[in-house]
Structure 1
Amino acid sequence: MTAAASPFPRSTVIGMLLIGALAFVGLLWFLGNNTGGSGNNGGAHVGGYGLNGYAGIAQMLEAEGLDVIRQRNRQAIETQPGLLILTPPASAEGKEIAKVVEARRYIGPTIVVTPKWLALGVNSTKAKRGWVQVVDTIAPDWEGFADNVAVQIGTDKSPPAGGWRVGTRRGPLPDDRRVESGSGKGLVPIITAGNGKVLAAWLDDDGYYPALNEFAGIDPDYGGEDEDRYPVVMVFEPDLLDNWGLADKATALLARDLILAAADNRAQPFAFDMTFNGFGASRNLLTLAFEPPFLAATLCLLLAALAVAWRALHRFGPALQSGPEIANGKAALVANAAGLIRRTGRVHLVATPYADAVRDRLALALGLPRGQSAEATEKLIDAAQDRRGLGGPRFSAAAAHLRSARKPHDLTRRAAVVHQIEKDLT
């Protein structure tokens, strides 16, 4: 058989297989985690580039080298350490928000931004994707979360709020009349409006938050004794953090400082939640395949596939050209006869003819007298073995042993003994 020339180099084949395998695994991961797309749909979340979105503050933090995460996994926001910024819509389930906040009290700080603007997409050919126009205000209805806190939104006819202030810092608000504020027991004000209304505060509890005390300009020793507890900061006025508010430099710097004070640690992740805004990755079989404990099984499967591919590449090569289906000449007769005997299950019938054929060849090679009986000829062959000092069984015994074989493997083993005697004597 001869080898035909390979149409592709081995390196090309390996590269094609690796690229295909990586692309397939990547597709499964993207499908399972519902990734892809920036989320710039005009919503009030970190993916929004409109007036009501929070893409600006995320990019601002990233520019400082902070680890910013746009989180789409609901389980991760309840368990992942670091600062979490929640921007739920007005229609979000309050009990779900409370569940996330309570789960994080000893994991990391949480900032909850209440919504205010009812925005619609800009219907113009000149408008960029994600641009919105503000048409009205809408207060959150989060029953089950911070029910002791009330939220109010001013109207077009309300008196100006006088911008925002914290300590000696001052700044404007995009809409100084339609300002959202909070009130209720258990709030420690951080940022207030010019008229004294609370624009941002943290929930008063047993925790001790020195960074927030310093930022708000209050007694540094204020707080409880539970230093393991993390704060929950309520930002009632979203224009303190959204893109519209960040158009003012003073407000942008205020937003940055507020987030850093709540985090009190620049080395930790800064996660912006997107799950409450409809971008959560649903749990499915593909999602589970890339999460513990099933991640181990996925990795084992991938390693097994790599091992199979490696073994396949080692035997990969140009196709071998096989010979003709029907052999020519004597080889055809031998092959056909052997195949017929094997198929009919009569392999044991060849034992006696083979032993007789070896005896006749040895008699001719040793020059033994002709015309003698088979037994006499075999005894002469035994005598030739003795004269030459050959060990092992005598020919007569080996031939008789071969003739009594019935199973194919016994026949093969005993025929090998007879063949070895023939080789030794010739």
Structure 2
Amino acid sequence: MSVQSNPFQRTTIIIMFAVGFAAFVLLLYGLGMGNRLASGNNGEAHGASNSSVGYKALANLLENTGIPVRYSRSKAGLEKAGLLVLTPRPNASAEDIDAIVQQRAYVGPTMIILPKWQVSKSQTLQKGWVVRGDVWGEEPGTEMLAELAEADLRIEDKIPAGQPMESAFGTTIKTPAMPVTIKGDFIRAIVREPSTQGALIAYLDDGGVYAQLDSLDESQIIDEEEIDESFYPVIIVADADLLNNAGMAEKQTARHALALIRAASLADGEDVTFDLTLNGLGSPENLLTLAFTPPFLSATICMVIAALAAAWMAFNRFGPPIAERRSIDFGKTALVNNSAAFINRMQRGYLVTDPYAEMIRTESAEAIGINPQADEQEIHTKLDALGESDGNRFSALFQQLVRAQKPQEIADGAAALHAWKKEIIG
């Protein structure tokens, strides 16, 4: 019976590594994205919702007519040029909405679609479908606009649906069921209900010049010091039925919605961004989020490729493994080399100058028959009489080595004394 030395197949190890590595990367991606991975089809009133109160139909209409559409789940999307569509929840903060509008005053136009219908979910309906209830009322919309302007919202429940209304774009549009109107000192109508003169869609009279919107109700600000032509418009949609999925089922309403978006966008080809942060579908930025978003995504991809390349090299070794060398070799030469390296590291080379010089003197004296116990001066005199090496006698080289302190001086002195011995004594 043969015994396999490796209990794991190479292919098995590669598959285990690939699955584990992919799971780890996906885990980091999930932690970084957070709520951004949550489905937008939750039945609420926002741009990614397919319910009757959502605005997915409007987004699809824009895309099919050549207008790029994006969905923003972070605050970075609020800073992009082009039309930004805000669809806040009824409990949205007036301060948050005002901060967004003020931030975008010189960035791009903003459209605020106020919530209209209360909805409830049912287990008998498919995902994203809801049961429409009553109208929210005037209070939520009035509160979330409190920081922008004094606005008076009303539910005109006595006005029948289907009545024609005036529009700034020269077309008539039908009144929705339970129309919601808005009035105020700085509210100018874009779509106006004729009997009450209330606006279902309006723009904020903030000192900007908006010729594409004011044909029905011109700005009343005439002081040149208060007019700023670089302002972008803020459009308030009081009645969401003129833009939501239920309203898009009516062709006339859909055509009017498209005209409104094009007029608000100011320039052809600009993106329309539907904000989802005010609907609880956003997540804060963190380091993991940045790692998976441009421009840092390219660096993350490079790191992943480098990790895969390193793993592949580990599985494909070039030749047999090299045996590890001993830290201390065997033999006299190795012992000398190790000792020399130790002395050099400890910077104690000056301690071996005297012993080495005396060793050379003793070996040289014995080689020519001088008694090693003789007087030092006598030995030096007899060795000097033997001759010079490179112009230096023995005693001079001996004293040069003994007095050396620096590593280079010690090495030069020892080499010169050894060269004298080799040349004169042999």
- What is the TM-score normalised by the length of structure 1? 0.69
Cα distance in structure 2, aligned partners of 1:75 and 1:361: 85
Q: Give 1:50 deviation, angstroms.
A: 1.7
Cα distance in structure 2, aligned partners of 1:343 and 1:172: 94
Cα distance in structure 1, aligned partners of 2:77 and 2:94: 19
**CA distance 1:322–1:421, shift in 2 (3 Å):** farther
Match of 2:90, SS state, is coil
**CA distance 1:415–1:146, shift in 2 (3 Å):** same
Cα distance in structure 2, aligned partners of 1:187 and 1:372: 122
Whether the 8 Å CA contact 2:388–2:420 is kept in 1: the answer is no
Report the counterpart of residue 11 of structure 2 in structure 1: none
Q: Which amino acid aligns with 2:398?
A: A
Q: Which amino acid aligns with 1:132?
A: V
Whether the 8 Å CA contact 1:180–1:236 is kept in 2: the answer is yes
Q: Give 1:376 deviation, angstroms.
A: 4.0
Q: Give 1:115 deviation, angstroms.
A: 0.7
Residue segments in structure 2 that go unaligned for 5+ positions in a row = 1-13, 373-378
Report the counterpart of residue 48 of structure 1 in structure 2: 49
Whether the 8 Å CA contact 1:81–1:269 is kept in 2: the answer is yes
Cα distance in structure 2, aligned partners of 1:353 and 1:33: 74
| 1:99 pairs with 2:105 | no
1:138 pairs with 111, 116, 136, which one?
136
**CA distance 1:168–1:100, shift in 2 (3 Å):** closer
Whether the 8 Å CA contact 2:343–2:349 is kept in 1: the answer is yes
Match of 1:210, SS state, is coil
Cα distance in structure 2, aligned partners of 1:57 and 1:76: 19
Report the counterpart of residue 281 of structure 2 in structure 1: 279
Q: Give 1:109 deviation, angstroms.
A: 1.7
1:328 pairs with 330, 352, 364, which one?
330
Report the counterpart of residue 228 of structure 2 in structure 1: 226
**CA distance 1:118–1:407, shift in 2 (3 Å):** same
Match of 1:244, SS state, is helix
Q: Give 1:183 deviation, angstroms.
A: 2.6
User: Identity percentage over the alignment?
Assistant: 32
Whether the 8 Å CA contact 1:29–1:287 is kept in 2: the answer is no
- What is the TM-score normalised by the length of structure 2? 0.69
**CA distance 1:32–1:403, shift in 2 (3 Å):** farther
**CA distance 1:123–1:380, shift in 2 (3 Å):** farther
Match of 1:169, SS state, is coil
Q: Give 1:52 deviation, angstroms.
A: 1.4
Q: Summarize deviations over 1:75-105 as a string: whole Å, max 9, x none.
A: 763x544322221122212233233323433
Report the counterpart of residue 352 of structure 1 in structure 2: 354
Cα distance in structure 1, aligned partners of 2:88 and 2:57: 17
Whether the 8 Å CA contact 1:207–1:228 is kept in 2: the answer is yes
**CA distance 1:60–1:339, shift in 2 (3 Å):** same
Cα distance in structure 2, aligned partners of 1:275 and 1:283: 12
Cα distance in structure 1, aligned partners of 2:395 and 2:61: 99
Report the counterpart of residue 185 of structure 1 in structure 2: 185
Q: Give 1:193 deviation, angstroms.
A: 4.7
Match of 1:199, SS state, is strand
Report the counterpart of residue 251 of structure 2 in structure 1: 249
Whether the 8 Å CA contact 1:32–1:285 is kept in 2: the answer is no
Q: Give 1:132 deviation, angstroms.
A: 2.0
Q: Give 1:114 deviation, angstroms.
A: 1.0
Cα distance in structure 2, aligned partners of 1:138 and 1:186: 24
**CA distance 1:399–1:86, shift in 2 (3 Å):** same
Report the counterpart of residue 7 of structure 1 in structure 2: none
Q: Give 1:411 deviation, angstroms.
A: 3.5
Q: What is the correspondence of 1:97-176 to structure 2 with a 5 Å cutoff?
A: 97-124=97-124, 127=126, 129-139=127-137, 140-143=140-143, 144-155=146-157, 159-162=160-163, 166=167, 169-171=171-173, 176=176
Residue segments in structure 1 that go unaligned for 5+ positions in a row = 1-12
Q: Give 1:62 deviation, angstroms.
A: 3.6
**CA distance 1:329–1:210, shift in 2 (3 Å):** same
- The total of aligned residue pairs comes to 379
Whether the 8 Å CA contact 1:48–1:55 is kept in 2: the answer is yes
Cα distance in structure 2, aligned partners of 1:38 and 1:281: 13
**CA distance 1:362–1:57, shift in 2 (3 Å):** farther
Q: Summarize deviations over 1:150-181 as a string: whole Å, max 9, x none.
A: 222355x75324265535534556xx432222
Q: Which amino acid aligns with 1:227?
A: E
Whether the 8 Å CA contact 1:40–1:49 is kept in 2: the answer is yes
Report the counterpart of residue 384 of structure 2 in structure 1: 379
Cα distance in structure 2, aligned partners of 1:395 and 1:32: 82
Q: Give 1:375 deviation, angstroms.
A: 1.4
Match of 2:380, SS state, is helix
Whether the 8 Å CA contact 1:355–1:402 is kept in 2: the answer is yes
Cα distance in structure 1, aligned partners of 2:186 and 2:344: 94
Cα distance in structure 2, aligned partners of 1:268 and 1:378: 100
Report the counterpart of residue 399 of structure 2 in structure 1: 400
Match of 2:154, SS state, is strand
Q: Which amino acid aligns with 1:259?
A: I
**CA distance 1:410–1:36, shift in 2 (3 Å):** farther
**CA distance 1:420–1:137, shift in 2 (3 Å):** farther
Whether the 8 Å CA contact 1:52–1:242 is kept in 2: the answer is yes
Match of 2:37, SS state, is coil
Q: Which amino acid aligns with 1:402?
A: L
**CA distance 1:239–1:188, shift in 2 (3 Å):** same
Q: Which amino acid aligns with 2:136?
A: I
Q: Summarize deviations over 1:376-413 as a string: whole Å, max 9, x none.
A: 454146x242xxxx36x554323322234467675445
CA RMSD of aligned residues (A): 4.8
Match of 2:212, SS state, is helix
Whether the 8 Å CA contact 2:40–2:49 is kept in 1: the answer is yes
Whether the 8 Å CA contact 2:380–2:394 is kept in 1: the answer is no
Match of 1:323, SS state, is coil
Q: Give 1:261 deviation, angstroms.
A: 0.3
